[in-house]
Structure 1
Amino acid sequence: MTSVTSLFAPVETDLCILTENLKNLVGARHPILYAAAEHLFGAGGKRVRPAIVLLISRATMLGQEITPRHRRLAEITEMIHTASLVHDDVVDESEVRRNVPTVNSLFNNRVAVLAGDFLFGQSAWYLANLDNLEVVKLLSEVIKDMAEGEIQQGLNRFDTTTTIDAYLEKTYNKTASLIANSAKGAGLLSGVSAEIATDLYYYGRFIGLAFQIVDDILDFTASTEALGKPAGSDLISGNLTAPVLYALEEKPYLEVLIEREFAQPEDIEQAIALVMESRGIERSRALAAQYAETAVQRITQLKPSESSKALVDLADYVLSRLY
Structure 2
Amino acid sequence: MTSVTSLFAPVEADLCLLTENLKNLVGARHPILYAAAEHLFGAQGKRVRPAIVFLISRATMLDSDITPRHRRLAEITEMIHTASLVHDDVVDEAEVRRNVPTVHSLFNNRVAVLAGDFLFGQAAWYLANLGNLEVVKLLSEVIKDMAEGEIQQGLTRFDTTLTMEAYLEKTYRKTASLLANSAKAAGLLSGVSAEVADNLYLYGYHFGLAFQIIDDILDFTGSTEALGKPAGSDLISGNLTAPVLYALEEKPYLEVLIEREFAQPDDIPQALALVKESEGIERSRALAAHHAQIAVESLAVLNPSTSAQTLIDLADYVLSRLY
TM-score class, shorter-chain normalisation, is over 0.9
**Counterpart residue number, 2:210:** 210
- Divergent runs of 4+, >6 A: none
User: Whole-Å Cα distance in 2 between the matches of residues 290 and 56 of structure 1?
Assistant: 22
Are 1:185 and 2:185 an aligned pair? yes
User: Whole-Å Cα distance in 2 between the matches of residues 39 and 215 of structure 1?
Assistant: 23
- Deviation of residue 233 (structure 1)? 0.2
- Residues 255-294 of structure 1 mapped to structure 2, 5 A cutoff: 255-294=255-294
TM-score when scaled to structure 1?
1.00
- Deviation of residue 301 (structure 1)? 1.4
- Deviation of residue 165 (structure 1)? 0.3
- Deviation of residue 63 (structure 1)? 1.9
Are 1:104 and 2:104 an aligned pair? yes
User: Whole-Å Cα distance in 2 between the matches of residues 291 and 49 of structure 1?
Assistant: 17
- Deviation of residue 6 (structure 1)? 1.0
- Deviation of residue 2 (structure 1)? 1.1
User: Whole-Å Cα distance in 2 between the matches of residues 280 and 311 of structure 1?
Assistant: 28
What one-letter code is carried by the residue in structure 1 that aligns with 2:299? I
Count of aligned pairs between the two proteins: 323
- Residues 130-209 of structure 1 mapped to structure 2, 5 A cutoff: 130-209=130-209
User: Whole-Å Cα distance in 2 between the matches of residues 36 and 229 of structure 1?
Assistant: 19
- Deviation of residue 118 (structure 1)? 0.3
Look up the SS of the partner of 2:159 in the other structure: coil
- Deviation of residue 300 (structure 1)? 1.0
Look up the SS of the partner of 1:299 in the other structure: helix
User: Whole-Å Cα distance in 2 between the matches of residues 294 and 61 of structure 1?
Assistant: 23
Look up the SS of the partner of 1:264 in the other structure: coil
What one-letter code is carried by the residue in structure 2 that aligns with 1:104? H
**Counterpart residue number, 2:241:** 241
What one-letter code is carried by the residue in structure 2 that aligns with 1:219? D
**Counterpart residue number, 1:117:** 117
**Counterpart residue number, 1:15:** 15
User: Whole-Å Cα distance in 1 between the matches of residues 51 and 33 of structure 2?
Assistant: 24
**Counterpart residue number, 1:81:** 81
- Deviation of residue 253 (structure 1)? 0.2
Gap regions ≥5 residues in structure 1: none
- Residues 222-237 of structure 1 mapped to structure 2, 5 A cutoff: 222-237=222-237
What one-letter code is carried by the residue in structure 2 that aligns with 1:227? L
Gap regions ≥5 residues in structure 2: none
**Counterpart residue number, 2:59:** 59
Are 1:305 and 2:305 an aligned pair? yes
Q: Deviations over 1:73-123 (max 9, x none)?
A: 000000000000000000000000000100000000010000000000000
User: Whole-Å Cα distance in 1 between the matches of residues 240 and 109 of structure 2?
Assistant: 25
- Deviation of residue 159 (structure 1)? 0.1
What one-letter code is carried by the residue in structure 2 that aligns with 1:127? L
User: Whole-Å Cα distance in 2 between the matches of residues 166 and 59 of structure 1?
Assistant: 34
**Counterpart residue number, 1:296:** 296
User: Whole-Å Cα distance in 1 between the matches of residues 153 and 44 of structure 2?
Assistant: 26
User: Whole-Å Cα distance in 2 between the matches of residues 310 and 258 of structure 1?
Assistant: 41
TM-score when scaled to structure 2?
1.00
What RMSD in Å do the two structures reach over aligned CA positions? 0.3
Look up the SS of the partner of 1:160 in the other structure: coil
Using the aligned pairs only, state the percent identity.
85
Look up the SS of the partner of 2:313 in the other structure: helix
